[in-house]
A and B are shown apart, each in its own frame.
Chain A
């Protein structure tokens, strides 16, 4: 069940350093939202505040509100563990559990969340691997370690692992930056398929990728190095890339900086 994300007045800190400042935006359900911007603009930090992963970094601290449908992720009674189960995440570099088999990797999240019968577990694993377009490649070696796969396959394994627990939102932090072009294409296709089921947010350095996969695009920027990153604008992807309302966005997209 995809959910809408409503962010208001969100700032994040590393110790005393403010990494992002006062960000407000809405992420629509069943769509792909891309975050673009120069290095250090805080787009990844912002992404990590959406499933409360930011606060696990030493000194990490967040102010503001993130509403998932109507529930504030930073509400006082909210359990960050439950948040992370609801908001899945895929990282920059594929990170399957190295000692686990492919099957166990996908089943890891399910096993955490309670008891499953073996057959049920196998069903969910198959469904998730199919959902990640990986089933055909690995169905004969589900008991082999996940670290034996290629980089692109590993990343799809991580996506399968993330979607196996049926999250409401899927966050992707530059999921293709460590992959070759063919694997990147496979992941991009996958994102297109997944958006029917999940709310997807993707951080990317690659503007063509943002243009290809996303429905809406948010542009982040920072005034200077050491200054906090800010949201400049968010709009339909088409508009951002053809006719953005802010000059800085146009400069960035046309390659004048960043």
Chain B
């Protein structure tokens, strides 16, 4: 009895006895072989023609790879298999093309960011530090960021939650449709436009820049995200639960507060945290509304503040080696903050996922 373990892939070795169902096929390592050949050729061409940019080498290699695989597969197998193979390699190329810059971004941030990142950096402000010199830290920016996103969350979490409840539990008719539509539209508002809107308020009512103004703009950005994610989670709560509770004579509002929201609370929390992660990195509104500050200002309602993303922008604009180091270190802190929020949020989502038994 022949004993074949079959995967959905070309058979490993071409066999001699062929019937109508089989054709000559390339060995499994063919793809890797083509890649090696293409890279070797590209390096050869690169050296021969003395091409400077490694990007050119890569492009030539990729092009050769596609051509070689198509030609060889057409010759050995057939056109359809060749197309399939080219599609497969293109998909892989896409993946690699995308991974390179993203890994580079992470690597650059980590390698350059760790240079000046230490306890001192985290616990000191830029007070009295000349922009071109080393030293200083992000303490003031951290405080600013935490306060601004804190206030923004306090504003948009209840509003967003209630709006989502309205849409899922009560929403019918034109008003609900309008709200749904504009929530979507609001998700797409560029952060700088949200900043400009608050700026118009400041101009009209003669308000001064402060952390709170920034928080207002951030809430505009955060609210639709909260509404959308909460809505999704509330929709996942099975109707049977609502009906069971209502059938027991529990009023609707208590059903929502005691049954629906607790059931979905894991997902809702996740949504909140992802929304926070999103606004924590916003720079543009802070630039327009909070102005930035080298000193520690713990009062978000009075006077200019800094924030982590704004600090990065500021240090980048100074343009000295010392300030670039600070910018990278702050970027690392910001990325770490956002990533941790994301990871925790997703952890909660997995842990508290409503068991709907899909």
Contact = CB atoms under 8 A, between A and B. Distances in A.
A65 B21 contact: no
B5 interface: yes
A56 B6 CA distance: 10
B15 to A, nearest CB: 4
A72 B2 contact: yes
B5 A63 contact: yes
Nearest to B24: A77
Interface in B105-158: none
B350 interface: no
Given A82-B23, A86-B21, A112-B80, A74 B2 contact: yes
Nearest to B84: A81
Nearest to A8: B1
A65 B2 contact: yes
B21 A63 contact: no
B292 to A, nearest CB: 52
B21 A76 contact: no
Contact of B4 (A68, A74, A86, A112): A74
Contacts of A76: 4, 11-13, 15
A44 to B, nearest CB: 18
A130 to B, nearest CB: 27
Contacts of B6: 52, 55, 61-62, 74, 80
Tell me which of A68, A74, A77 has the highest count of chain B C-beta atoms within 10 A of its own C-beta.
Answer: A77
A74 B21 CA distance: 10
Nearest to B1: A9
Interface in B1-22: 1-8, 10-15, 17-22
Nearest to A86: B21
Contacts of B22: 71, 75, 77-79, 82
Contacts of A77: 11, 13-15, 17-18, 22-25
Contacts of A72: 2
A74 B11 CA distance: 9
A71 B19 CA distance: 7
A186 interface: no
Q: How large is the interface on A (under 10, 10 to 19, 20 to 34, 35 or more residues)?
A: 20 to 34
A31 B23 CA distance: 29
A73 B21 contact: yes
Interface string A175-205: 0000000000000000000000000000000
Given A63-B3, A71-B19, A80 B12 contact: no
Contacts of B81: 79
B173 to A, nearest CB: 31
Nearest to B20: A71
Given A64-B1, A74-B2, A80 B8 contact: yes
User: By DSSP majority rule, is chain A's interface helix, strand, loop, or mixed?
Assistant: mixed
A168 to B, nearest CB: 10
B21 A61 contact: no
Given A8-B1, A72-B2, A76-B15, A56 B25 contact: no
B1 A62 contact: no
A68 B24 CA distance: 19
A148 B5 CA distance: 41
A62 B12 CA distance: 16
A72 B22 CA distance: 10
A120 interface: no
A212 to B, nearest CB: 33
A83 interface: yes
B46 to A, nearest CB: 37
A70 B15 CA distance: 16
B21 A82 contact: yes
A82 to B, nearest CB: 5
A70 B17 CA distance: 12
B10 A79 contact: yes
A63 B4 contact: yes
Interface string A13-52: 0000000000000000000000000000000000000001
Interface string B76-98: 00001100000000000000000
Nearest to A61: B5
Contact of B15 (A55, A61, A75, A86): A75
A55 B11 CA distance: 13
B8 A79 contact: no
Interface string B58-89: 00000000000000000000001100000000
Interface string A66-99: 0010111111111111110010000000000000
A68 B21 contact: yes
A55 B17 CA distance: 23
A78 B13 contact: no
Nearest to B2: A65
Nearest to B3: A63
Contacts of A74: 2, 4, 6
- The interface centre, meaning the residue of B4, B10, B11 with most chain A CB atoms within 10 A of its CB, is B4
A79 B1 contact: no
29 contacts: A52-B6, A55-B7, A55-B8, A56-B8, A61-B6, A61-B7, A63-B4, A64-B2, A65-B2, A71-B22, A73-B21, A74-B2, A74-B4, A74-B6, A75-B19, A75-B22, A76-B15, A77-B14, A77-B17, A77-B24, A77-B25, A79-B22, A79-B23, A79-B25, A80-B8, A81-B80, A82-B20, A82-B23, A86-B20
Given A77-B15, A77-B22, 12 more contacts: A55-B8, A63-B4, A70-B19, A71-B19, A71-B20, A74-B4, A75-B17, A76-B12, A77-B14, A79-B22, A81-B80, A86-B20
Closest 6 CB pairs of A and B: A77-B15, A77-B22, A71-B19, A76-B11, A78-B22, A9-B1
